[in-house]
Amino acid sequence: MNNSVLIYSDFNDVVEESVTLLEKSGYIVFSAGNFNGAIDLITSADYEYFLVDDTVDATTLKYLISESRRCNPDAAVITFNAVESILTRFRHSKA
């Protein structure tokens, strides 16, 4: 496992806060604050987890998840509703 995370949110403050939390916890973080940036990273980055803010609209969320599974089928896809919940979601996904 490469301990890397791709994170996407439409809100830059959520992205920035998430990146800080994850990097302090020892993760390598790729982040995108817009759709095109997310697609670029999905197709080019090597990541173990794909985190998506659950405020992303349903159509966009579905497309991003399908692209992630197509490009990196072994990556866990995790939605989150608060930055504080990210590490808890990781623990549950590993169980």
pLDDT at residue number 1: 53
Q: What is the pLDDT of residue 95?
A: 59
pTM of structure: 0.90
CATH topology assigned to domain 4-94: Rossmann fold (3.40.50)
The per-residue pLDDT string of the chain (95 residues; one tens digit each, 9 = 90 and over) reads 578 999 999 999 999 999 999 999 999 999 999 999 999 999 999 999 999 999 999 999 999 999 999 999 999 999 999 998 888 887 777 65
End-to-end CA distance of the chain: 15
Q: Which of 93, 52, 95, 54 is nearest to 74 (CA)?
A: 93
Going from N- to C-terminal start, the domains of the chain cover: 4-94
pLDDT of residue 52: 96
